[in-house]
Amino acid sequence: MFLRKFLDKIKPSFQEDGKLHAFRSVFDGFETFMFVPNETAKARGAHIHDAIDSKRIMSFVVIALIPCLLFGMYNVGYQHYLAIGETPEFWASFLYGLAAVLPKVVVSYAVGLGIEFTVAQWKKEEIQEGFLVSGMLIPLIVPINCPLWMIAVATAFAVIFAKEVFGGTGMNIFNVALVTRAFLFFSYPSTMSGDKVWVNGDYMECINGVSGQAVDAVSAATPLGQLAAGDAVQASFCDTVTGLIPGSIGETSVIAIALGALLLLCSGVASWKTMLSVFVGGALTAFLFKDQVTANFEWYEHLTVGGFCFGAVFMATDPVTSPRTEGAKYVYGFLIGVVAIVIRMLNPGYPEGMMLAILLMNVFAPLFDYCVVQSNINKRAKRAAKK
């Protein structure tokens, strides 16, 4: 293959005494990203050897995110044309959204990977691939009007302080994408408050020339924003399922998320136990609090609005920050669902609770693991004592 030959040809210059040695980790990262690595772990000790590289797992999650990304792009354009009073056409909407979303994806990847590459080179380690997923998640969980420099600052903060200081990929306590969002949420609440998500601004005009009419950032309240303000929710249940509502870029459409969830579950990348128990916990809590809600908002609609589905499918199931033991996954997921709805219902300051719920449970994940392991040890000790 052409690419293989090319890589083999330039490989010597990245070896120990080659002239491009400084970029060794970058080369290594790309080579193993394109091809199955030549080296595997040494056949020593009691580790289970698996053919699947963690880059492949990450690639699966990124593929699963594509429906959300594409739909998010379409929805951005759709909301824009709706706001300026034109009928949204499919391709025009999509292209508009593409031009708005793509810079965010590029910025998030450039900043995050830039830091990861630098750190890997500095510590003389292999490049870790964890950021492939985080970099895709970050643009999907921010509102469309969030400026690029904010995303860059927040991504840098999250990658350094939530990931690299803990030891890099696989060592982080908190989900990196959610730390990015939390940073934005607490630092710049006026653009991230969640009670009003601005759908467009005329700054897009110069990029693709699609917008004919200058509209200064029309704001449209999200369903959760209306809920928190005590207003009637305008979006119907059907709208919240298809996702043609204002909201963060990737989180609005339940159908697109379901497609991603299907892929993750079929390939075994995400745990169905976590996913299911998040929904069970959320549904139960929403049902318990159903009398608190304003008119025409049924309890089950809580599961389709805001970031609930997106968080349950892509965030809660993060293999690094969720518990390792199977039993703990049920408890972890269930409590995420409960806390998310409790924050939504009982705290007027935060219309959306999914982000805070998952971050909170990230902290407790090792504790759940400890309890499960300890109870197992106790059970076996008892069994041994009986004999």
Partner 1 sequence: MALFSKENRQAFTNPLNLDNPIAVQVLGICSALAVTSQLKPAIVMGLSVTVITAFSNVIISLIRKTIPNRIRIIIQLVVVAALVTIVSNILKAYVYDVSVQLSVYVGLIITNCILMGRLEAFAMQNGPWPSFLDGVGNGLGYAIVLIVVGFVRELLGFGTIFGFQVVPDSWLMDNGGLYLHNGMMTMPAMALILVACFIWAHRAYNKDIE
Position 188 contacts partner 1 (CB under 8 A): yes
Report d(CA 106, CA 87) in Å as an integer: 29
Smaller CB separation from partner 1, 105 or 150: 150
Position 191 contacts partner 1 (CB under 8 A): yes
Smaller CB separation from partner 1, 176 or 244: 176
Q: For partner 1, which stretch binds (CB under 8 A), given 136-144, 183-191, 226-234, 256-264?
A: 183-191
Smaller CB separation from partner 1, 161 or 272: 161
Non-local CB neighbours of 56 within 8 Å, separated by 6+ positions: none
Pair 36, 53: CB distance under 8 Å: yes
Nearest alpha carbon to residue 97 among 246, 258, 311, 307 = 246
Report d(CA 272, CA 278) in Å as an integer: 10
Position 149 contacts partner 1 (CB under 8 A): yes
Q: Minimal distance in Å, beta carbon 386 to partner 1?
A: 49
Position 38 contacts partner 1 (CB under 8 A): no
Position 350 contacts partner 1 (CB under 8 A): no
**Exposed e or buried b per residue across 14-44, where buried means at least 16 C-beta atoms within 10 angstroms of its C-beta:** beeeeeeeebbbbbbbebbbeeeeeeeeeee
Position 297 contacts partner 1 (CB under 8 A): no
Position 201 contacts partner 1 (CB under 8 A): no
Report d(CA 93, CA 371) in Å as an integer: 50
Strand partners, 220: 197
Report d(CA 129, CA 131) in Å as an integer: 6
Report d(CA 148, CA 306) in Å as an integer: 22
Pair 272, 167: CB distance under 8 Å: no
Site string for partner 1, 157-176 (x = CB under 8 A): ----x---------------
Position 118 contacts partner 1 (CB under 8 A): no
Q: Minimal distance in Å, beta carbon 188 to partner 1?
A: 5
Smaller CB separation from partner 1, 201 or 327: 201
Position 147 contacts partner 1 (CB under 8 A): yes
Among 190, 206, 295, 386, binds partner 1 (CB under 8 A): 190
Binding site for partner 1 (CB under 8 A): 147, 149-150, 161, 183, 186-191
